[in-house]
Amino acid sequence: MNWDRVEGNWKQFKGNVKEEWNELTNDEIDAMEGRREQLEGRIQERYGIERDEARRQVDAWYERQNVDTHT
């Protein structure tokens, strides 16, 4: 799976994003439309973490989604 699949199926992934980062609002999640940079930026802002940490969190989440799609 590549990130294009996340973007193309954003409606399916939104719930998983909300579970992972529950401080993000539904409106924020809707507005990012699966764009990774926006997701990382919102996580960084909302949780007060460094950009690299936000990227690591998104990488870990993405890997779990990749695994989940093959089970």
- Read off the CATH number of the domain in which 55 is found: 1.10.1470.10
Q: How many domains does the chain have?
A: 1
What pLDDT score was predicted for residue 7? 93
C-alpha span between 67 and 27 (Å, rounded): 27
Give the model confidence (pLDDT) of 11-47 as tens digits: 999 999 999 999 999 999 999 999 999 999 999 999 9
What pLDDT score was predicted for residue 67? 64
40 lies in which domain range?
A: 3-68
Q: State the average pLDDT over residues 40-58.
A: 98
Alpha helix stretches (DSSP H) within the chain: 3-8, 10-20, 26-32, 36-47, 51-68
Q: State the average pLDDT over residues 60-65.
A: 94
What pLDDT score was predicted for residue 2? 86
What pLDDT score was predicted for residue 71? 44
